[in-house]
Structure 1
């Protein structure tokens, strides 16, 4: 039982009452945090679903065009065409704080601003399908990076939601009920002690009155004898 190790004193009662107030306030704040995390998480999940559909569609189209390009171009020509890319992508990783959770933010920039630098080959010996495949992949790169950012954010928020949920449950179902039970136990013990003290005082008073009454009778009898 939670009250087995509780010292039933007024000082302990005051300490537990203050602790209970803090626990209830913390419980409310954690519930608010959990609800806000859930809202942010669900918003990211919706964005993730939309982006994933777009990315998968773009990759599918790029693969289709690449298959067509391979059908009309030899492997040697394709390998030479894609061997030395002209364009480069630099990724910068930052972060932003969402309810005490640092989620990643990706920023990217290319080596050159020229959009045609995505093609690392000349157009004389390659097919237009290869051009389309490269263009599809280039166009979906921002969405792919955003998708990676959102999916990692979802993982981090889900972990924080689970941690916060466990804390809320621990306060709601364990700590707060134990403190309430301990306070109830101490109040009961203090009331019991107070009643016992009142009973003892009443008995002492009765004994004193009885003793005083005997003295009074003794004095009265002694006075008659004199």
Structure 2
């Protein structure tokens, strides 16, 4: 007799013991994978919450910065404002490295300069709103940097979650059922062998008793 999803194995007690031991190991692996999935979900929730928080802060500072720029333009005029901001450096470099969170490598971006120096655009005749805008842009860049890192964490953690869930599904719906079916097959085969042996011995005993009577 065979069971669906089971491979052909020799129905011996040694194989039965081995399969039972293998089942325990696979169940421990599944438990570890499920624990890893739960921890990754916790990291994912935190990364999503951080991203939303940083992005909201970035948007608020950016909105205030543009408001101050408009006020500065109204106060100083468009041409004067353009002359002032012409001194702002346009280059921006970033350093990229990796950190590890529960076995997941996550790239980290760190802006080499996340601030706009107020002194570079400020002089005696410039609008004070321009300095306020520069500070708001500086804060916006800091939160943008954090939002970018949180977003990359989300993508990497989600990819690892998918991979972990695929492994859990493989263990749960393929590997464990196969082992369990093989265990059932061996148990049923051994039980059948025992019954056959019992019947055979009973027949031999009956023949021996009938010979003695004769």
TM-score > 0.5 by shorter chain: yes
When the two chains are superposed, the root-mean-square deviation of aligned CA atoms in Å is 2.9
Distance 2:129 2:122 in 1: 14
Corresponding residue number in structure 2 for 1:159: 159
Corresponding residue number in structure 2 for 1:200: 200
| Contact 1:48/1:150, CA 8 A, preserved across alignment | yes
Distance 2:150 2:138 in 1: 19
| Contact 2:12/2:186, CA 8 A, preserved across alignment | yes
Report the TM-score, using the length of structure 2 for normalisation: 0.81
Distance 1:63 1:117 in 2: 17
What residue ranges of structure 2 are gaps of 5+ in the alignment?
Answer: none
Are 2:84 and 1:93 aligned?
no
Q: Alpha carbons of 1:13 and 1:161: their partners in 2 closer, same or farther (altered >3 Å)?
A: same
Render the CA deviation track for 1:75-124: whole Å, top value 9, x for unaligned. 5544443345359655333322211101233444449xxx8834433535
| Contact 2:107/2:152, CA 8 A, preserved across alignment | yes
Corresponding residue number in structure 1 for 2:20: 17
Moved more, 200-209 or 53-62: 200-209
Distance 2:146 2:7 in 1: 55
Distance 1:179 1:44 in 2: 38
SS of the aligned residue for 1:2 comes to: coil
Mark the structure with the bigger radius of gyration: 1
TM-fit CA distance, 1:72: 5.1
Are 2:192 and 1:189 aligned?
no
Q: Alpha carbons of 1:90 and 1:133: their partners in 2 closer, same or farther (altered >3 Å)?
A: same
Q: How many aligned positions are there?
A: 211
Match of 1:61 among 59, 64, 73: 64
SS of the aligned residue for 1:48 comes to: helix
Report the TM-score, using the length of structure 1 for normalisation: 0.78
What residue ranges of structure 1 are gaps of 5+ in the alignment?
Answer: 218-226
